[in-house]
Amino acid sequence: MLLKWLHLLLAGVIATVSMDVLSAIAIRLRLIAPLSPNLIGRWFVSVARAHPFHEDIARAAPGSHEVAIAIPVHYAIGTFLTALFIFLANRIGWPVSVSLALGFGLCTNVFPWLLMFPAMGYGFFGAHGPEGTRLFVSSLVSHVFFGVGIWIGVRMMLP
């Protein structure tokens, strides 16, 4: 049983690493322009302090170690969502396929589009993000990468 949990955890880490590596390549190729990780960390801190809503998270007082906070929270969310995907696929009885994983990855866009971006002050779908960002497209592409990562992680870690 412990081995199953370890495999599940590793599948989530693989999915999230895949998302991050592929997103970094897309950033380098100027295909996407997401938010800075320190702003993500700043928002996570503000949520933990029960102050999730901002006019513009970039104007909120910076905290210490924002990136150091953003990374583990990002990986915890990615691992949880991967576990949820595996649970739902098994519960429904659907075999894990690349198309199912991609579809799930795309569905996870509801969180930044409808929760995180509006709470940060950037509107639904990130329509009013900071200059130089393309939040809608960046999130869309990154979450497709997450779907690819889920598929890779499940194929590598689970029978």
Q: What is the pLDDT of residues 29-41, one digit of tens each?
A: 999 999 999 999 9
Domain residue limits, the chain: 2-157
Which amino acid does the sequence have at 67? V
Question: Percentage of the chain surpassing pLDDT 90?
Answer: 93
pLDDT at 159 over 70: no
Q: For tokens 């800075």, what's the residue? A: 36
Q: What is the pLDDT of residues 53-64, one digit of tens each?
A: 999 999 999 989
Distance, CA of 96 to CA of 150 (rounded, Å) = 10
Distance, CA of 140 to CA of 124 (rounded, Å) = 13
Q: Are the C-beta atoms of residues 56 and 120 closer than 8 Å to each other?
A: yes
Distance, CA of 4 to CA of 2 (rounded, Å) = 5
